[in-house]
Chains A and B, each alone.
Chain A
Amino acid sequence: MDPDDVATAFVKHYYSTFDSNRVGLSNLYQEGSMLTFEGEKHQGSQNIVNKLTGLPFQQCKHNISTVDSQPSGPGGAMLVFVSGNLQLPGEQHPLKFSQMFHLMPTPQGSYYVLNDIFRLNYA
């Protein structure tokens, strides 16, 4: 599979899980995973998913504008850089965001998120 296709498939999967079953994101992180969310650091699958499920909105919808990906080293790891917007219920205007993921291959032929950095883009 082309790395760009892997990245696109991951991004689709990540945000559709985020928007429909946020607690299911725990499968995508491991103990060593790191999230920096608006400057706040979290480590480990449980802490990361607690942060994401504890965000002050229930429903949301991500719309993706761009996906860039590059291989990261020889072992099949990959960097994915996303820009898009986040529509929250009851809000007129969506929020713009940028996010990057460092994906590591698993022995099962899948990927997990080692690094995750999220920032809203304020105008």
Chain B
Amino acid sequence: MEEQSEMVGRAFVDHYYNLFDNDRSSIGTLYQPSSMLSFEGQKLQGSEDISAKLNALPFGQCRHAISTIDSQPSSFSGGVIVFVSGSIQLLGEDYPLRFSQMFHLIPTMEGSFFVQNDIFRLNYG
């Protein structure tokens, strides 16, 4: 189970940031109506509001570079907690911004996962 959560975590992180950087308008597909996002302290709920928030961020192109991925099984059957650290490079900025983010992934009936909880913070220096 522990190995499995690591695999799920790594595959999810790859997929999530790839979607964020290349097709952000589709990111809502990873959330459901019950999903929660805390973005720099601002709380949003539901895939629609979350997607609207992420697509309205004041930058177009960006590129995430991942430094660490830690995963653990959560108590829910098959749930996985994923903790990410990395940096985000914005177009036209000299220096990337450091961030930490956590996801709580819940398995779907179709054998995939959706994001139930998402908490994002920039790490100021």
Q: Is the CB of A123 within 8 A of B70?
A: no
Q: Is the CB of A72 within 8 A of B70?
A: no
Q: Is the CB of A115 within 8 A of B100?
A: no
By DSSP majority rule, is chain A's interface helix, strand, loop, or mixed? strand
Q: Is the CB of B72 within 8 A of A119?
A: no
Which residues does chain B contribute within 8 Å of A117, judged by CB atoms? 70, 72, 81, 83, 102
Of the candidate stretches A18-26, A50-58, A75-83, the one touching chain B is: A75-83
Which residues does chain A contribute within 8 Å of B83, judged by CB atoms? 36, 98, 100, 117, 119
B residues touching A (Cβ–Cβ < 8 Å)? Answer: 2, 36, 38, 41, 43, 67-68, 70, 72-76, 81, 83, 85, 98, 100, 102, 104, 116-117, 119, 121, 123, 125
By DSSP majority rule, is chain B's interface helix, strand, loop, or mixed? strand
Contact check: which of B38, B70, B74, B119 meets A119 at CB < 8 Å? B70
A70 at the interface (CB under 8 A from B): yes
**A residues 89-123 with Cβ under 8 Å of B?**
96, 98, 100, 102, 104, 114-115, 117, 119, 121-123
Question: Nearest Cβ distance between residue A123 and chain B, in whole angstroms?
Answer: 6
Q: Is the CB of A121 within 8 A of B104?
A: no
Which residues does chain A contribute within 8 Å of B36, judged by CB atoms? 70-71
